[in-house]
Structure formats: structure tokens, C-alpha cells
């Protein structure tokens, strides 16, 4: 049987600083982040994995309310794109969303993806 996935994209604005970085990322700066959340499971009898509105509600409540227009260093000690994606995945899993991947795009050309393994 197929395992099907659906994804929904979101945007948020945030600043961060990587003080250990030897380049320009050591300076306080911000990004217009794009977040992609992927949920995977066998199709339900109605032919869907999950309603896109349910993904939106969960991401809005458990991620965007804290992340949007925030300084990420205030709640993540080392807010790299990789660790931001991992934190978001943990929040969504904790909220009961069957996340299979979370991708955080810092720019149009740079992103980090966390793949959630089955346990």
C-alpha cells in the first residue's frame, strides 16, 4: 500500500545571531523564513492524509505564535536553520501532528530539512 504525504507552506519573519560564526551570520540579522511541513500516512477512507486546514491550525498555534516576529536566540541558544527545523518538528510532534519532514528556508537558495524517523 502507498504511504502518501501532503505539505503545506508558511512564512514568518524572525531575527537571530550565530555568535560562534566566523562570517556575517555572527551579526544580528533577520530572515523572511519559509516553512514547509510535510505529513505522511496511509490514505484515510475519504482519500486524504490530513485536512490542510488542520495542518495550518496546528502550525499556527504551536509554531507561528512564538516564531513570527521573534528573536530566535530568546528561546533557542543556537538557532541554526537545522536546529530551528528540529525544534519545529518537536513542537508539531508534541501537538500530535504526524510530521514526516520539516524544511526551513532561510533564503530562496538555502534550507535545512529534518526527516522524522518512524519509531
Confidence (pLDDT) at 3:
80
pTM: predicted TM-score of the whole model, two decimal places: 0.94
**Active-site choice (25, 66, 82, 90):** 25
Confidence (pLDDT) at 85:
98
Q: What is the pLDDT of residues 105-119, one digit of tens each?
A: 999 999 999 999 864
- For the question of residue 25 being annotated catalytic, the response is yes
Q: Count CB atoms within 10 A of the CB of residue 113.
A: 15
The domains located in the chain, with CATH, are: 4-115 (3.30.479.10)
**Active-site choice (16, 31, 105, 106):** 106
Confidence (pLDDT) at 1:
59
Q: Count CB atoms within 10 A of the CB of residue 89.
A: 22
- For the question of residue 106 being annotated catalytic, the response is yes
Q: What share of the chain is helix, strand, coil (3-state, %, to 5)?
A: 30, 35, 35
If you average pLDDT over residues 20-49, what whole number do you get?
95
- C-alpha 62: how far from its chain's center? 11
If you average pLDDT over residues 70-97, what whole number do you get?
97
If you average pLDDT over residues 64-76, what whole number do you get?
98
Confidence (pLDDT) at 117:
84
Confidence (pLDDT) at 107:
95
**Active-site choice (13, 69, 110, 115):** 69
- For the question of residue 36 being annotated catalytic, the response is no
Amino acid at each position: 500500500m502507498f504511504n502518501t504525504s501532503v505539505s503545506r507552506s508558511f512564512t514568518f519573519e524572525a531575527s537571530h545571531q550565530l555568535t560562534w560564526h566566523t562570517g556575517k551570520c555572527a551579526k544580528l540579522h533577520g530572515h523572511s523564513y519559509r516553512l514547509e511541513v510535510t505529513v505522511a500516512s496511509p490514505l484515510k477512507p475519504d482519500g486524504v492524509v490530513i485536512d490542510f486546514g488542520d495542518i495550518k491550525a496546528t502550525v499556527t498555534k504551536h509554531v507561528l505564535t512564538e516564531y513570527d516576529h521573534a528573536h530566535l536566540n530568546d528561546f533557542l541558544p543556537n538557532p541554526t536553520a537545522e536546529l530551528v527545523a528540529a525544534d519545529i518538528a518537536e513542537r508539531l510532534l508534541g501537538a500530535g501532528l504526524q510530521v514526516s519532514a520539516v524544511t526551513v528556508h532561510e533564503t530562496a537558495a538555502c534550507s535545512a530539512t529534518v526527516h522524522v524517523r518512524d519509531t
